[in-house]
Chains A and B, each alone.
Chain A
Amino acid sequence: MWRFLGGRIAMGALTIFVTTIAVTLLIHLVPGDPVQIMYAQSQGTTPEQLEEIRHNLGLDQPIYIQYVRFVGRLFQGDLGYTIRGHQPVLDVILQRLPNTIALAVAAMAVAILIGLPIGFFAAYKRGTMVDTGLMVVAIAGVSVPHFWLGLVLLLFFAVELGWLPVSGTGPLNLVLPAVTLGLSNAAIVARMTRSSMMDIMRQDFVRTAEAKGLPKSVILSRHVLRAGLIPVITMMGLQFAFMMGGAIVVENIFAWNGVGRMAVEAIFQRDYPVIQGFILTFAVVVVFVSILLDGVYALVDPRIRRS
């Protein structure tokens, strides 16, 4: 098991390494002079000032030197300074990251709490009208874009009924964005759970369990659910990455003060250090979550735990 997890951690480190390279190159991918683009909106910057900024950002150095400096500073926890306001990028991100993680975790919880039982139930009722009905709803759920669902929920629960706040950042404010983000993922979880459970129900060992005369409830909860969860867990790692991506849209709809909203602002303002920091943070979170889920995976599947 430790070897398995060690391999996953090494893979994660490699992913982050590749991301640092991509992030360094990012500035140069946009056509034109990055410093001019960054300061295009601020009038009256003199060429001398631009040159000084260029020097401060290290952009006058060869690209490999830039990279070494970037990584060197990274090890000291220094992601540079925001162009607007000149705050440390790390502080800005750390201040907002908990909000985004809270949103993603809450959305994941919504997705699992709704999707898993529906998928399991549909698999149990496979081939019936109930199954078909649930899956039609699930397909509709997958197809609905976040921004539309978010606006509809907002209109109904916040504007019409007034049950929940329209926007802002706080515990009650979390409900609508989490449901928005969670619902469409619940549909994916439901479909995945259904197909995984149906696959398990066809397995020989389920027939063995039936031949032992076990009650149906025991067969489903002990034999089917546990074995069927393994692929679902694998998928949740990928889901979480999508969830973080979805957070960017949802945070902007509900004015939720997370890194997603920050990233969009930074992109509009051409605030390169913030964008770089955001991408890197995003990668670290996704890698960390997938390693965490691999650990859970190993706990559920003895073939990995015992090897």
Chain B
Amino acid sequence: MTDTPVLDVRDLRIAFGAGRKAREVVHGVSFTVQRGEVVAIVGESGSGKSVTALSLMGLLPRGHGAVTGGSAHFEETDLITLAPEPLRRIRGARIGMVFQEPMTSLNPVLTIGRQMTEGMMAHGRVSERQAREAAIAMLERVGIDDGRRRLGQYPHEFSGGMRQRVMIAMAMMMKPALLIADEPTTALDVTIQAQILDLMRTLIAETGTSLILITHDMGVVAETADRVVVMHDGRVVEEADAKTLFAMPGQAYTRALLAAVPRLDGAVAGAVARPAGREPVVRIDSVSKTFGGRTGTRALDGVSLDVMAGEVVALVGESGSGKSTLGRAVARLLDVDDGAILVDGHNMAEMRGATLRRARARVQMIFQDPYASLDPRFSIGRTVAEPILIHGGGGRREASERAAALLQRVGLDRPMARRFPHEFSGGQRQRVAIARALAAGPKIIVADEPTSALDVTIQAQVLDLLAELRDEQGIALLFISHDLAVVRQISSRVAVMRSGRLLETGPTEAVLGSPRHAYTRALLSAAPVPDPAKRGRVRVTVAAGSYPDGPLVEAAPGHWVAS
């Protein structure tokens, strides 16, 4: 490493809005990035980490945000005061950027080839053929074979993980001195995330490019970063070497942030395994479901699973594993092709009309996106009171009284009932969703990735709330998640799914502590560990079709594995 940093940011200030309404969101941030160094900027939503990155590229939303002070020297040039045209020549060519959403970051109506080559052609004096050759070579580097054919394809012909590879290839083929990656793996499955992080590390090491990694995920930080900048409320709270930061966090905020991260090792706080009831609340009996006709995909393939009263069963797997489909089937939001789902001894699939409507009160759902799952035109009091009215909980007055009590129960103030969803934060909205689910008086709540969209500290609070409700009211929980560390905190049993098949199920400690199925081991090895000392451990990978997925066999008491 040389002494002159690649990037030297000093006292950077950014404000949103203009004139009198201007509100400063980044208050004098300073940090440096050395050649070949990986610097992680971590923080929760609203910390100003993404805004800081966008401002370096001159990509703040036009007319909304603006840099109001400070400097950012990149290779001797101040990016902040640079005129638009010279800045454009640096963008892409000298500083590359990879964004969070691989599904929306590529233009759907242009070929991958066009999108990969246009940057190089706009910057350098290369012919289209040279650019295409470079693109093909780069695709191979990121693990996409048959580049020549792939260049003629469109984004919708690539999976999410593949698109992120394309994005990285696109940024790296320009050989930038600095790559800024804004939550590059947040939208991906753990196994894909592990591959992408490995890929980025290798490319960085080979080319000597510096990397700024913006993330909220401490696991990803520990896996990748040399140095960490912790941001909170638009300020740098702490800056330290990665090993030091994880071993001896200097600031209270950093300690709180690290403590909130669910871990796969160490003690689980407050997971008192409450003895589950004897009676299954939900009995799923060899359920199958195929989407899209005869040639369609088999989302569920002979899945059987019981959930006892007061028990939390976690359903884990990657996207496409069928875990959400199973959850929706339990709530009878979709009909299965084969098999039965008994809720409280009644087959929901056979119910019609008013009987079904009454039965629906027994199964309630909480969804991942607390923004999209609340009606913006309903006050939250009305949202929570609605199920009470529908399921015959008395008159309007009683319903709103009960709704207020429920809001209080989930940790919100009673007067908040008059407010509307946009006035709440993500965590508060998820609390509202929980109150709404409780309002119907359910036996079981199906929670589909309820904390995936939340910051870690908020996630910890919501998980605590769910655990309290389980203990207090004996409500069973079917907890769908891709995050094994979260699952470990809340569930007493785990069921692992892939491609519509149940592969392993058993007590949480047994399945996560001594996994018997190869795929469970692969999932566990892919999960990022918030400890830089454990970096570089061997990852297990399991190709599709190379693992047993036959009927479950009892390997240990209560621990079943596919044979």
* Interface flag for A222 (CB, 8 Å): yes
Contacts of A230 in B (CB 8 A): 109
**A204–B167 Cα gap in the complex (Å)?**
12
Not counting A205-B107, A211-B99, A302-B109, a sample of 4 additional A-B residue pairs whose C-beta atoms are within 8 angstroms of each other reads A208-B97, A213-B122, A223-B107, A302-B154
Contacts of B89 in A (CB 8 A): 213
* Interface flag for B221 (CB, 8 Å): no
Q: List CB contacts (< 8 Å) of B56-115 with chain A.
A: 57, 59, 63, 88-93, 96-97, 99, 101, 104-111, 114
Return the contact of B110 from the options A203, A211, A212, A222 (Cβ within 8 A): A222
* Interface flag for A214 (CB, 8 Å): yes
**A230–B63 Cα gap in the complex (Å)?**
27
Contacts of A226 in B (CB 8 A): 109-110
28 of the cross-chain contacts (CB-CB < 8 Å) are A204-B104, A205-B104, A205-B106, A205-B107, A207-B99, A207-B105, A208-B97, A208-B105, A208-B106, A208-B107, A210-B59, A211-B57, A211-B59, A211-B99, A212-B119, A214-B92, A214-B119, A214-B122, A215-B122, A222-B118, A223-B107, A227-B109, A230-B109, A300-B109, A302-B109, A302-B111, A302-B156, A306-B157
Given A204-B101, A302-B154, A303-B156, A212:B108 Cβ within 8 A: no
Given A204-B104, A222-B110, A302-B108, A213:B91 Cβ within 8 A: yes
Q: List CB contacts (< 8 Å) of A235-258 with chain B.
A: none
* Interface flag for B535 (CB, 8 Å): no
A230 CB, nearest partner CB in chain B, Å: 7
Contacts of A214 in B (CB 8 A): 88, 92, 118-119, 122
**A226–B111 Cα gap in the complex (Å)?**
12
**Closest 7 CB pairs between A and B?**
A213-B92, A213-B91, A212-B119, A212-B92, A204-B104, A211-B97, A205-B107
Contacts of A205 in B (CB 8 A): 104-108
Nearest CB to that of A208 among chain B residues? B105
* Interface flag for A1 (CB, 8 Å): no
Q: CB-defined interface of B179-220 with A at 8 Å, one 1/0 digit per residue? A: 000000000000000000000000000000000000000000
Q: List CB contacts (< 8 Å) of A282-307 with chain B.
A: 300-303, 306
Contacts of B171 in A (CB 8 A): 211
Nearest CB to that of A300 among chain B residues? B109
**A111–B413 Cα gap in the complex (Å)?**
56
* Interface flag for B357 (CB, 8 Å): no
Given A300-B109, A302-B109, A127:B63 Cβ within 8 A: yes
Q: Is the CB of B167 within 8 A of A208?
A: yes
Specify the main secondary structure of chain A where it touches its partner: helix
Q: Is the CB of B92 within 8 A of A227?
A: no
Q: Is the CB of B92 within 8 A of A211?
A: yes
Return the contact of B107 from the options A127, A209, A215, A306 (Cβ within 8 A): A209
Given A223-B110, A302-B109, A213:B104 Cβ within 8 A: no
Contacts of B384 in A (CB 8 A): none
* Interface flag for A218 (CB, 8 Å): yes
A306 CB, nearest partner CB in chain B, Å: 7
Interface centre among A205, A222, A223 (most CB of B within 10 A): A205
* Interface flag for B123 (CB, 8 Å): yes
* Interface flag for B225 (CB, 8 Å): no
Mark A residues whose CB is within 8 Å of B.
127, 203-205, 207-215, 218, 222-223, 226-227, 230, 300-303, 306
B186 CB, nearest partner CB in chain A, Å: 14
Contacts of B101 in A (CB 8 A): 204
**A222–B122 Cα gap in the complex (Å)?**
13
Given A226-B110, A227-B107, A212:B154 Cβ within 8 A: no
* Interface flag for B434 (CB, 8 Å): no
Q: List CB contacts (< 8 Å) of B108-145 with chain A.
A: 108-111, 114, 118-119, 122-123
* Interface flag for B177 (CB, 8 Å): no
Return the contact of B91 from the options A211, A301, A303 (Cβ within 8 A): A211
**A301–B110 Cα gap in the complex (Å)?**
9
**A209–B110 Cα gap in the complex (Å)?**
12
Contacts of B122 in A (CB 8 A): 212-215, 218
Nearest CB to that of A204 among chain B residues? B104
Contacts of A203 in B (CB 8 A): 104
Nearest CB to that of B154 among chain A residues? A302
Contacts of B59 in A (CB 8 A): 207, 210-211
Nearest CB to that of A127 among chain B residues? B63
Contacts of A211 in B (CB 8 A): 57, 59, 91-92, 96-97, 99, 171
Contacts of B106 in A (CB 8 A): 205, 208
Return the contact of A212 from the options B109, B111, B118 (Cβ within 8 A): B118
Given A212-B122, A213-B119, A303:B92 Cβ within 8 A: no
Nearest CB to that of B100 among chain A residues? A204
Contacts of A210 in B (CB 8 A): 57, 59, 91
Q: Is the CB of B109 within 8 A of A306?
A: no
Return the contact of A213 from the options B90, B110, B167 (Cβ within 8 A): B90
B523 CB, nearest partner CB in chain A, Å: 29
Nearest CB to that of A203 among chain B residues? B104
* Interface flag for B170 (CB, 8 Å): yes
A35 CB, nearest partner CB in chain B, Å: 52
Nearest CB to that of A216 among chain B residues? B88
Q: Is the CB of A213 within 8 A of B109?
A: no
Given A205-B104, A226-B110, A303-B108, A215:B99 Cβ within 8 A: no
Q: Is the CB of A208 within 8 A of B99?
A: yes
**A227–B97 Cα gap in the complex (Å)?**
22
Contacts of B107 in A (CB 8 A): 205, 208-209, 223, 227
Nearest CB to that of A201 among chain B residues? B62
Contacts of B156 in A (CB 8 A): 302-303, 306
**A104–B91 Cα gap in the complex (Å)?**
47
**A230–B110 Cα gap in the complex (Å)?**
13
Contacts of B96 in A (CB 8 A): 211
A207 CB, nearest partner CB in chain B, Å: 6
**A127–B91 Cα gap in the complex (Å)?**
26
B95 CB, nearest partner CB in chain A, Å: 8
Contacts of A302 in B (CB 8 A): 108-109, 111, 154, 156
Nearest CB to that of A205 among chain B residues? B107
A216 CB, nearest partner CB in chain B, Å: 8
**A215–B86 Cα gap in the complex (Å)?**
11
Interface centre among B109, B157, B171 (most CB of A within 10 A): B109
**A227–B93 Cα gap in the complex (Å)?**
25
Nearest CB to that of B101 among chain A residues? A204
Contacts of B157 in A (CB 8 A): 306
B51 CB, nearest partner CB in chain A, Å: 13
Contacts of A213 in B (CB 8 A): 88-93, 119, 122-123
Interface centre among A223, A227, A302 (most CB of B within 10 A): A302
Q: CB-defined interface of B146-179 with A at 8 Å, one 1/0 digit per residue? A: 0000000010110000000001001100100000
B408 CB, nearest partner CB in chain A, Å: 39
**A205–B123 Cα gap in the complex (Å)?**
19
B553 CB, nearest partner CB in chain A, Å: 42
Nearest CB to that of B118 among chain A residues? A214
Q: Is the CB of A227 within 8 A of B108?
A: yes
B20 CB, nearest partner CB in chain A, Å: 18
B486 CB, nearest partner CB in chain A, Å: 27
**A20–B109 Cα gap in the complex (Å)?**
39
**A212–B119 Cα gap in the complex (Å)?**
5
Q: Is the CB of A301 within 8 A of B109?
A: yes
Interface centre among A204, A213, A214, A227 (most CB of B within 10 A): A213
**A215–B107 Cα gap in the complex (Å)?**
16
**A230–B156 Cα gap in the complex (Å)?**
16
